[in-house]
Structure 1
Amino acid sequence: MPTLTVLTPVHDGGHTYLRELHDCLAGQRLPGGWRLEWVLQEDGRTGSPLAAVPDAPWISKGTGRQGGAARARTLGLARATGTLLRCVDADDLLPDPDTLARDIEVLIDRPGYGWTVAPCLDLLPDGSLVPGPYDPPPGPLPARALLDGAKRGEMPVVGTTLTARTGLVRLLGGWPALPAFEDGALVLSCEAVSPGWMQSAPGTLYRKHPTQHTATADFRDEQEARLRVEIAVDRAEALHASGWRWTE
């Protein structure tokens, strides 16, 4: 049975909204014959975040040495059995029950495409939703559209809207060892070696709250923020220059 794997990194103390995400994923309506797998990977070995959701056959729980979200994502990748892979952060949600079905349908209908992304809506504490400022138009993404935006400081999409063919993610080595923006870096690398599709419907509700990683002083350090993007851009540029293209 074809499977879509959702991969979620979570650390101890960062699982406040994890049960809500569980319920959201459990309510997803996949196309006929498709199965959902949720790989839940703790960034650490306490076991506390994993206990926040019930055990079920469709959920794969794991722990590992603490090292940040990028390491946790890549450790979780080892357990992914799906042909398609989607990352959803522990404090975020999917906008509607058909979100993952749209991801599947885009890539099934377009076998030459390695990945798809979608608009992201900020979910504010009062429940209101705010769209992103740089969403590209729906349809096939022009070559380098995301890379050029990142170089301008206007990354067009949020990395956690990415659904990619799992084999492509593995070929690219998973997520680079960055303290943040590792999800955006993977999107830029996918763009460098494979065509991608921008969806019209939102793909993620990005929850804004005071304890999120992106609200910390470390994340907002300007020097590190520039360096994170530079590393991701340099890798993507090197992939573009290599001329290598992904084929399934």
Structure 2
Amino acid sequence: MPILSVITPVYQPEPEHLMAAYESLKDQEIPSGWEWEWMLQEDGSSGVAKEILPEDERIRFGQGRKGGVAITRNLALSAAKGQLVKNLDQDDILTSGVLARDIQAIDGNDGVRWTTSRVLDLLPDGSLVGFDNDPEHGRLRTGVVVEHWRAHNFRLPVHPTTMCIERKLAVALGGWMAVPGSDDTGLLTAASVVADGFFESEVGLHYRKWPGQETAMARHTEAVEWNARMHLISERAEFLAQAVAVANR
């Protein structure tokens, strides 16, 4: 039976946020014959997530020494049983039906090996804010995403935290990229130069904006580090694209 593995790295979670993520996942309806599992991998070994969440046989808890978010995601990836893997951060909320749409986008479109969805920011007052520049619904041809990213000061046309990807492809690309922040951008850009993707125009995620999130910290946009990781992500994508071009000759 095919499985979709939802991967969530956990570190000092806000109980209310983690429960909201679980509530958004537990009632997802997916195509007949499919199952989902929730890979909750703690960056450390406090066991805090298990204390917060109710018992659910679909949840698989993991622990390890502290190594940062990318390593934590990759440890979950190593244990995931799914043919597809999807990221869900501990403070975000899935919309109804998104797992089914992810499965359909990849399973129902020949050559599509990863997919993303439209996002709404969830603000502290509970309001939702969208974006004006989402791409058109449908296939994202190989190379299009990274070309846009480079041309727009390293701003992606789709949100990397919504990505669902074939597990085999994610593993072949090294999983989430080992950089301090932007690890999901590293995986998305790499995938985008070796395989077609898909953009689902129906909202798939409410992306929580709050003071405690990593991307709200000043260190996330500190210029020297930001430039270094953008350069490395861009280089990897370039060399992967060159390798694919050589292989296709």
Class of the TM-score when normalised by the shorter of the 2 chains: over 0.9
The one-letter amino acid of 1:35's match is: E
Deviates more, 1:154-163 or 1:66-75: 154-163
Aligned residue type for 1:91? D
Q: Does 1:130 align with 2:129?
A: yes
1:92/1:206 contact within 8 Å kept = yes
- Cα RMSD over matched residues? 1.7
Matched, 1:223 2:224: yes
Alignment of 1:155-234 (within 5 A): 155-234=156-235
TM-score, length-scaled by structure 2: 0.93
- Please list, as runs of the form range in 1=range in 2, the aligned pairs for 1:23-172 lying within 5 A after superposition: 23-95=23-95, 97-151=96-150, 152-153=152-153, 154-172=155-173
Q: Which runs of 5+ in 1 are unaligned?
A: none
Retained in 2: the 8 A contact 1:134–1:155?
A: no
Q: Distance in 2 between matches of 1:158 and 1:229?
A: 16
Structure 1 CA distance for aligned equivalents of residues 74 and 131 of structure 2: 27
Q: Secondary structure at the match of 1:173?
A: coil
Measured in 1, the distance between the counterparts of 2:229 and 2:119 equals: 21
Paired amino acid for 1:45 = S
2:22 maps to which residue?
22
Partners of 1:34 and 1:195 lie apart in 2 by 23
Distance 2:193 2:235 in 1: 11
Contact kept, 8 Å, 1:116 with 1:196, in 2: the verdict is yes
Could you say what secondary structure the match of 2:232 adopts?
A: helix
Q: 1:11-33 CA distances to partner (integer Å, 9 max, x unpaired)?
A: 02455411111111001111111
Displacement of 1:2 in angstroms is 1.2
Q: Which runs of 5+ in 2 are unaligned?
A: none
Which structure shows the bigger proportion of residues in strand conformation?
A: 2
Q: How many Å apart are 1:197 and its aligned residue?
A: 1.0
Q: Is the 8 A contact 2:120 2:128 kept in 1?
A: yes
How much has 1:189 moved relative to structure 2? Answer: 0.7
Structure 1 residue 119, shift from structure 2 partner: 1.4
- The C-alpha deviation readout for 1:21-77, integer Å capped at 9, x for no partner, is 111100111111111100000011111133211232111000111111101000111
Count of aligned pairs between the two proteins: 245
Deviations 1:157-192 (A, max 9, x none): 111111111111111111111110100110111111
The answer to whether the 8 Å contact 1:14/1:49 transfers is: no
Instruction: Return the alpha-carbon distance in structure 2 between the equivalents of residues 225 and 132 of structure 1.
Output: 23
Identify if the C-alpha distance between structure 1 residues 13 and 142 changes in structure 2 by more than 3 Å, giving closer, same or farther: closer
TM-score, with structure 1 as normaliser = 0.94
Percent identity (aligned): 38
